Structure 1
Amino acid sequence: MHESHFCHRAWPVVTRTDRRLSWKLWTAIGTVLIALNFRPAVVAVSPLLDQIGPGAGLSTSAAGLLLTLPVLCFGLLGPTAPALARRFGIERTLGGVLLAVLVGSALRLIPTVPALFAGTIMIGAGIAVGNILLPVLIKRDFPHSIGLMSGLYTLSITGGAALAAGITVPIARAAGLSWNAALGGWGLLALVGLLVLIPGMRRAHPRVARAEPGTILPVRIRLMQDRMAWLVTVFFGLQALNFYSMTAWLPTMLIARGFDATAAGLLLSLNSLASIIPAMLTPVLVARVNRQSFVAVALGAIYVVALLGLILAPTAAPLWVCLLGVAQGATLGLALTLILVRSPDTHHAAQLSGMAQSWGYTIAAVGPLLLGALFEVTQDWVVPLVFLALLILPQTATGYRAGRPSMVGA
């Protein structure tokens, strides 16, 4: 009787533990699947640009706008994320992110310029919201595993970029796909994510599901006068500017240096592949120390070497694009981790994530357009690359200061 009574009392405890573990496992899987969709639909445009331009009748300026639109959406539409999370809850809002990517990719299947731009805006709007909310989800549900989960997050982002850069053109050629079908095909990745996540969303942990709309992002914390918040924001923006500028124009730069289109696409893929491991390991390592300043300085040095190498020794481009990928992946991991480790709680993390990514991506949106404009004026890629190398100085300076052990709102 004693034994029966003991088992009866112990069973609910085991059930609650199992449910918490299941919820965390579902959240971790969801984080990976959602983050995997943050780059392919954006990165896939660059290696297809030589087909999209003539096929859709785009001018050089219009092509530059197409490359810039998603990043501009990240900056301008990201601030809607907290309101959507309050209204629908974080998990359901992130499901809506995947739905937006799916619908935007479907619009790209229509081979017209309006559909191409409408689909790009839809994809950019969805990812803009996801950019803000995934770090908040990590801070809320994995407060003691920030480094590990940030590593998985950035691994998924960079892995998705590498996948798109590496296989978009080869698969399109092997299957005889048009440029619009090659772009629209990336919606399948979002569809897979939705199919996996919807059952989990319906079985969401009841306590979390009920509490979330009323407790997630309940107060707007003012960070606009906070020095640390601005340091994190500018650092995030400058690293994003470098990434999206090089993603947009690296194949074109390499073709101008004598590489054929296939080799240029493979080097873009190599650049993305080189970023994967640093993107995963950097958050795990830097989250364990109080001061991350030295990491920002070391990464700045790698950036400068890679960019100057592309200028001075373009025949060694495989080496330089690898170094650039290492710097880009590690810097993205550092930037996303700084948002979390400089926030004392979930609410500060939500506001800092919104501020850093909204302002940061607005800064980044200038990069592809500006590099294209510099090339049109000079008819050479040296000046744009020198410009990017000079921007590493303020990036390193803000990263150094943001790496000091201090919290926003302190």
Structure 2
Amino acid sequence: MENTSTRRTGQVLLVWGLLVVAANLRASLTGVGPLLDRVQSDLGLAPAVAGLLNTLPLLAFAGLAPLVPGLAARWGAERLLGGALVVLALGVAVRWIPTTAGLFLGTALIGAGIAVGNVLLPSLIRRDFPTRVGLLTSAYATVMGGVAAVASGVAVPIAQAAPGGWRTALGCWVVLALVAVLVWLPQLRTPGPSGSSGPGGPGGPGKPARGGQRLPWSSGLAWAVTAFMGLQSLGFYVIVTWLPQVFQDNGVDPATAGWLLFVFQVIAVLASLAVPRAMRRARDQRGLAAVCSAVLLVGYAGLFAAPGWALLWSAVLGLGGGACLVLALVFIGLRAPDAASAGALSAMAQSVGYLLAAVGPVVFGLLHSLGSGWRAPLLLMVAAAAAQTAVALVAGRGTVLPARGPRPEPAVPAAKSGVSNGR
């Protein structure tokens, strides 16, 4: 009885730890956009240099993601994630230093810390909660998106009211990062549930394996999951970077354009909450993923054809975008037979996906500069959403076999676990 109670307490602490970690994975990034003009003016940055503040973390995600499974195999997933949280907190603190070098060094450290969390959270959920992959993925995506929306909404008011201006608005998130470090400490001292394999390889939670699992580059299904992750990430970062400007150029005042972006993020959070219920009613995720991707396509097409209906298209894009983010993360857990494979698939999907996301806003802006207005860039997003809809029909079903290494543990039977339908 005592062991059961201890185990239950440990799982509760782990869930809280994962959610607090998730709260830190976007907040320090989404607060930059609303303050970018102030940062640029104060530090005398050229527009291209200032744009690196949004691009640098995405490049860190893409570059570091393939390394995470091997590092987790060597040090243990819990220790690696704890170290990443310390790096993230350090990065937010360094960004508070009133110099250009501090701003960019801090941003690079933030990107490195978040990159590790991006890869490890799906595999930790797959390892420790194999019967609740969809539910917990939705929960952490909701927390991540909700805090990110708050961060973008309070950035300007904090900069206006607090001593230190925009530096305080960016640096205040160190408090949340330190809270995450404290909440995660129990995971460094106590092992997780026995009999499972860690995200970096076999050997049990928190125990290093002999080597990391290779990324499944030869798997067509893995590439479908990667393409879905990349295309939905591209859409999200294009929207948060350019949507307010698209609205302003169509007659919306800047303040209203900012609130429309907030509407997009809030509806995305609400949509992410609905995904687990929808998944429980389906045998697989192909139809749901295709429908949600088609909703994005409608949003981009509507923005192209009738840009004056700004509120409607913000809501439609939020509805499709929020659902597709959860589905992209859920695919990582559900398409993998075990946690080690989930870690490898997560690394592959996020390395390529965030590289595509980093390129997307640049290409979108370049098409605007070369053409006449936003029609060509929006047609690009219509094409991207159409491709995502097609890819969803492949990514929503099946299992990615591991590239090499020991035979993975058997997946929990779908009829008993609910893994196949996301419960």
Instruction: Output the TM-score relative to the length of structure 2.
Output: 0.87
Match of 1:11 in 2: none
CA distance in 1, matches of 2:245, 2:118: 28
Match of 1:204 in 2: 190
Which among 351, 355, 373 is matched to residue 348 of structure 2? 355
Which among 331, 337, 340 is matched to residue 330 of structure 2? 337
Aligned positions of 1:297-308 closer than 5 A = 297-308=290-301
Query: How far 1:282 sits from its partner (Å)?
Result: 1.3
Instruction: Report the 3-state secondary structure (helix = DSSP H, G, I; strand = E; otherwise coil) of the residue aligned with 2:331.
Output: helix
Match of 1:23 in 2: 10
CA distance in 1, matches of 2:193, 2:184: 18
Match of 1:56 in 2: 43
The letter for the 2-side match of 1:190 is A
Query: How far 1:51 sits from its partner (Å)?
Result: 1.4
CA distance in 2, matches of 1:256, 1:222: 43
Match of 1:409 in 2: 401
CA distance in 2, matches of 1:226, 1:302: 28
Match of 2:173 in 1: 186
CA distance in 2, matches of 1:397, 1:122: 36
More helix by percentage: 1
Number of residue pairs the alignment of both structures matches: 395
Q: Percent identity?
A: 40
Distance change >3 Å, CA 360–CA 239, structure 1 → 2: same
Deviations 1:158-203 (A, max 9, x none): 11221112221123223365222211122221122122222x2354
Aligned positions of 1:80-119 closer than 5 A = 80-119=67-106
CA distance in 2, matches of 1:206, 1:341: 20
CA distance in 1, matches of 2:137, 2:280: 9
8 Å CA contact 2:35, 2:156 repeated in 1: yes
Deviations 1:246-283 (A, max 9, x none): 11222232333333332222221111111112113214
Which among 231, 234, 241 is matched to residue 224 of structure 2? 231
Distance change >3 Å, CA 320–CA 168, structure 1 → 2: same
Deviations 1:56-101 (A, max 9, x none): 2222222322211111111111122122222332122222222122
CA distance in 1, matches of 2:376, 2:132: 43
Which among 284, 293, 296 is matched to residue 291 of structure 1? 284
Moved more, 342-351 or 85-94: 85-94
CA distance in 2, matches of 1:395, 1:202: 39
Distance change >3 Å, CA 206–CA 225, structure 1 → 2: closer
Instruction: Report the 3-state secondary structure (helix = DSSP H, G, I; strand = E; otherwise coil) of the residue aligned with 1:242.
Output: helix
Which among 20, 23, 27 is matched to residue 33 of structure 1? 20
CA distance in 2, matches of 1:207, 1:317: 48
Matched, 1:149 2:149: no
8 Å CA contact 2:92, 2:174 repeated in 1: yes
Instruction: Report the 3-state secondary structure (helix = DSSP H, G, I; strand = E; otherwise coil) of the residue aligned with 1:361.
Output: helix
8 Å CA contact 1:46, 1:251 repeated in 2: no
Aligned positions of 1:202-281 closer than 5 A = 202-205=188-191, 211-214=204-207, 218-221=211-214, 223-281=216-274
Q: CA RMSD in A?
A: 2.2
CA distance in 1, matches of 2:36, 2:192: 47
Query: How far 1:302 sits from its partner (Å)?
Result: 1.4
Aligned positions of 1:152-171 closer than 5 A = 152-171=139-158
Moved more, 273-282 or 230-239: 273-282
CA distance in 2, matches of 1:17, 1:246: 46
Query: How far 1:222 sits from its partner (Å)?
Result: 5.1
Moved more, 255-264 or 71-80: 255-264
Rg (Cα) greater in structure: 1
Match of 1:324 in 2: 317
CA distance in 2, matches of 1:334, 1:290: 14
Matched, 1:371 2:364: yes
8 Å CA contact 2:128, 2:193 repeated in 1: no
Instruction: Output the TM-score relative to the length of structure 1.
Output: 0.90
CA distance in 1, matches of 2:105, 2:271: 34
8 Å CA contact 1:283, 1:334 repeated in 2: no
The answer for unaligned runs of 5 or more in structure 1 is 1-13
Query: How far 1:16 sits from its partner (Å)?
Result: 0.9
Which among 376, 398, 405 is matched to residue 391 of structure 2? 398
CA distance in 2, matches of 1:243, 1:231: 18
Distance change >3 Å, CA 213–CA 388, structure 1 → 2: same
8 Å CA contact 2:332, 2:342 repeated in 1: yes
Matched, 1:45 2:32: yes
Distance change >3 Å, CA 94–CA 215, structure 1 → 2: closer
The answer for unaligned runs of 5 or more in structure 2 is 403-423
